């Protein structure tokens, strides 16, 4: 079976590396995107970002024409796929065959690209240093306005020398290995995606779709990115600084058993309550002293520190949404007072909650009028 990206338009359009002057949206040509993978690629690393970019034009047209006529506008992205094959290996780790839509020779002849996306998988980790993979990336990257590594695609970018001195992320499972192989790369294991200059990298699997939404937002505005996220039933633009793991999932991952798994979930659902250690111990059917010792041995932190992390995480989500006031966030997160929340944020995040919320407000305000400013496409 051959999977081809839907809605990709003409596959071989060549764009000048220098962006032309702003034109009405209807007249702007699609942005040229090449998605590159080393077989076997992880299927969702490959198809997830493609689907986000391919559907962006469709959603743009639907938003412009409420009757649902999507035929009047060109796609926003001109997507080509190239899989560097491996002998006796399927093109994807799922065993499905995904065919290249452009040859290596055609890629090398292109004068310029808007975006080069290098995706992850076993092939990316094990074949990153192969000349057929590394040299092609070295050829294409300088001809691209921006370079993207999805999941372990960062291994290929690092092998090509594109990440030295850059702050990057990859799948949490392979962060230590990336740092070991490439000491000049600044690996940050926590965010779901990172932008450093014109280089973007994402954490594992579905984080590549978050990154692709961020690319759409940068190119075409906040409103379109949110409309696209709603259509694809994704979180509405999770911020890139959000951690790969929630506090609950990180704690569960550290445990050698699931002894406190149900308790951690219950704590997350009841943060508006005081949750003294005596109540937590009672739910675990232990004395407070036994509970405190067992919890620290199992989870790696004290119950009090775990509770603070959960409250800060919940407060961050509310602040990022931007609709609730500080007092409401304090109440729903269970901090009791604004000063208690402020101190917890300084310990866990390094910035007070008001400044944290203002940062996200500035980001939203920067792009909130993007679609309005570009409404040359409206019929």
pLDDT in tens, 250-285: 666 566 566 888 898 899 899 999 999 999 999 999
Percentage of the chain lying above the pLDDT 90 cut: 63
pLDDT of residue 19: 43
What is the share, in percent, of the chain residues with pLDDT greater than 70?
A: 79
Average pLDDT in the chain: 84
Domain ranges, ordered by start, for the chain: 25-231, 249-365
pLDDT of residue 142: 97
Q: Enter the pTM of the model.
A: 0.70
Q: What is the 3-state secondary structure (H, E, C) of 22-66?
A: CCCHHHCCCEEEEEEEECCECHHHHHHHHHHHHHHHHHHHHHHCC
Is 8 part of the annotated catalytic residue set?
Answer: no
Other C-beta atoms closer than 10 Å to the C-beta of 248 total: 18
Instruction: Please give the C-alpha separations between residue 134 and each of 34, 37, 102, 125, 310, in angstroms, as whole numbers.
Output: 15, 11, 18, 12, 42
Select from 3.40.50.880, 3.40.190.10, 3.40.50.300, 1.10.4160.10 the CATH code of 25-231.
3.40.50.880
Q: Is the pLDDT of residue 359 over 60?
A: yes
pLDDT higher than 70, residue 105:
yes
What's the pLDDT tens digit per position in 77-94?
Answer: 999 999 999 999 999 999
**Which residue among 151, 228, 275, 319 is the active-site one?**
151
The yes-or-no verdict on residue 368 having pLDDT over 80 is no
Q: Which residues on adjacent β-strands are paired with residue 33?
A: 79, 115
Is the pLDDT at 182 greater than 60? The verdict is yes
**Superfamily of 249-365 according to CATH:** Homeodomain-like (1.10.10.60)
User: What digits encode the pLDDT tens for the residues 20-60?
Assistant: 444 444 458 999 999 999 999 999 999 999 999 999 999 98
């Amino acid at each position: 079976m051959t999977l081809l990206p839907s809605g990709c338009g003409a596959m071989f359009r060549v764009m000048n590396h220098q962006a032309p002057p702003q034109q009405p949206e209807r007249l702007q040509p699609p942005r040229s995107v090449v998605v590159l993978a080393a077989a076997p690629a992880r299927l969702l690393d490959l198809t997830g970002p493609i689907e986000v970019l391919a559907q962006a034009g469709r959603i743009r047209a639907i938003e412009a024409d409420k009757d649902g006529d999507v035929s009047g506008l060109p796609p926003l992205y001109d997507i080509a796929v190239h899989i560097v094959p491996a002998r006796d290996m399927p093109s994807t780790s799922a065993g499905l065959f995904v065919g290249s839509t452009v040859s290596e020779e055609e890629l090398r002849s292109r004068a310029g690209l808007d975006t080069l996306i290098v995706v992850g998988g076993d092939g990316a980790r094990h074949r990153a240093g192969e000349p057929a993979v590394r040299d092609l990336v070295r050829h294409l990257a300088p001809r691209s306005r921006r370079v993207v590594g999805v999941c372990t695609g960062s291994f290929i970018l690092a092998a090509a020398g594109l990440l030295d001195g850059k702050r990057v992320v990859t799948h949490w499972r392979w962060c230590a290995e990336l740092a070991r192989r490439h000491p000049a790369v600044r690996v940050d294991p926590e965010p779901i995606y990172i932008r450093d200059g014109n280089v973007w990298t994402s954490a594992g699997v579905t984080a590549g779709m978050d990154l692709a939404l961020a690319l759409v937002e940068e190119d075409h505005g906040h409103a379109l990115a949110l409309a696209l996220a709603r259509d694809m039933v994704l979180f509405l633009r999770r911020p890139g600084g959000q951690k790969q793991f929630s506090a609950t999932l990180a704690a569960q991952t550290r445990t050698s058993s699931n002894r406190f798994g149900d308790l951690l979930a219950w704590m997350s659902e009841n943060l508006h309550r005081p949750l003294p250690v005596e109540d937590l111990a009672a739910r675990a059917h232990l004395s407070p002293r036994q509970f405190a010792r067992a919890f620290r041995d199992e989870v790696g932190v004290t119950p009090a520190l775990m509770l603070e992390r959960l409250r800060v995480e919940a407060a961050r989500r509310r602040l990022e949404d931007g609709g609730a006031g500080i007092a409401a966030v304090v109440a729903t997160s269970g901090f009791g007072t604004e000063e208690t929340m402020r101190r917890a944020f300084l310990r866990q995040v390094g910035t007070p909650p008001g400044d944290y919320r203002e940062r996200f407000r500035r980001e939203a305000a920067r792009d909130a009028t993007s679609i309005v400013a570009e409404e040359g496409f409206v019929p």
